[in-house]
Amino acid sequence: MAQQSLKKARIIFHVDMNSFYASVEMAYNPQLKGKPLAIAGNPEERKGVVVTSSYEARARGVKTTMPLWKAQRLCPELIVRRPDFDRYRSVSKKMFQMLEDITPYIQPVSIDEGYMDVTGTEQYRSPIEIAQNLQQAIKNELDVPCSIGIAPNKFLAKMASDMKKPMGITILRKRDIQEKLWPMPIEDMYGVGEKTASKMRTINVSTIGDLAQSDGYQLKQLFGINGERLKNRANGLDERSVDPDAVHEFKSIGSSQTLPADTDDETEISQLIGKIAENVERRMKRKQAAGRSIQIMIRYHDRTTVTRSKKLNDYIEKKETIMDTAEELFQKHWNREPIRLLGITVQETDEKQNIARQLDLFTYEKEMEKEKLQITIDRLTRKYGKDTFKQMQDETSHELRTSFQKDFLDDYKK
């Protein structure tokens, strides 16, 4: 894939849709505008948590992942809508198409955000003008607000887009980081989670500036190579390119589900395993993928969580095989206490055409083993069908369950 030259100073945008699900609902139903709105899961079940909320709701203390009952207690007039992922996906596709009208270097990272490398386009318009026109076009055509960060690399662009919401445009240059970036709490740094931040505070790193000036050896001892990476980012260093093909990189495909009530009923658990395995199979079909390792996650009533996995001899993709292996792992590692959540993940995954291609190249180099290749092809044909070695048609899309699903992120190219 051709990429923008790293020798030339890059101009990277991070485009982040503001309160995306809520904003799309407001665009669809203008009567919701200006009102406290929350998008939440099934209110009748315990998994009813706030997925996102409008800025009016946030002003009342409503936060993402907050239990719905708590959000409604903080804001009694809160309007609740269940997520409509087909609607969000449609708007997302149109948004990314608008980005691609400016540059082919688009890297979607979720349904509502992505990077753009606009290096070279500034000879026609200034970066700030490009951003202003794009932001206004998205607002005019989709009635959804966005914030745009402009910087010489992806990390700084991401940090910049968070600095002014909604409808903000922020430029963050390397020469600005001591003034704008370093005073920020370490928790506000992209890539630093709650546990990492807590660990950093044990070595007196409480701001991004502290991290930028901290001892590299000590960071590596605590966080491995990620410690060095985070320190570089705090100093404004990030050489990652905007990669349009990154959306296709995946190593695992999974699904999980919370039970309406804690249970130790084996029949109910077995049915749930079947349902989750079916979800995983559907997602693997969408990606035309297969995998060779199964992992289960068991979360108990007290929130204790365990994960266990099993490596398989062959690549798998079918619900029955996924379900049987998951059931085996569950029965082996379940402590008979009531469970709250179950998850199944197929790991070491790849596209089926790549699996076939790897086998083909392997045997091409070893001419004497052609007979073994044919046996392997026959086995793959029986397992995956006769079109294993061809680019397959896309499956009909199914409902998306989270904003982090990447299965659809190249739809804008179709």
Residue 199, class by beta-carbon neighbours within 10 Å (0-12 exposed, 13-18 middle, 19+ buried)? Answer: middle
Please identify which of the residues 44, 45, 56, 113 carries the catalytic annotation: 113
Distance CA 98, CA 92 (A): 10
Cis omega (within 30 of 0) for bond into 185:
no
Is 113 known to be catalytic?
yes
**Which of 177, 77, 79, 96 has its CA nearest to residue 144?**
96
Which helix H or strand E contains 263, and what residues bound it?
strand 252-263
Residue with tokens 């970036």: 181
Residue 122 three-state SS: helix
3-state secondary structure string across 178-207? HHHCCCCEHHHCCCCCHHHHHHHHCCCCCE
φ/ψ of 252, rounded to 5, equals -155, 155
112 annotated as belonging to a binding site for a ligand: yes
* Per-residue tokens: 334: 């379940």
Residues with a known catalytic role: 113
| Positions at the binding site for Mg(2+) | 16, 112
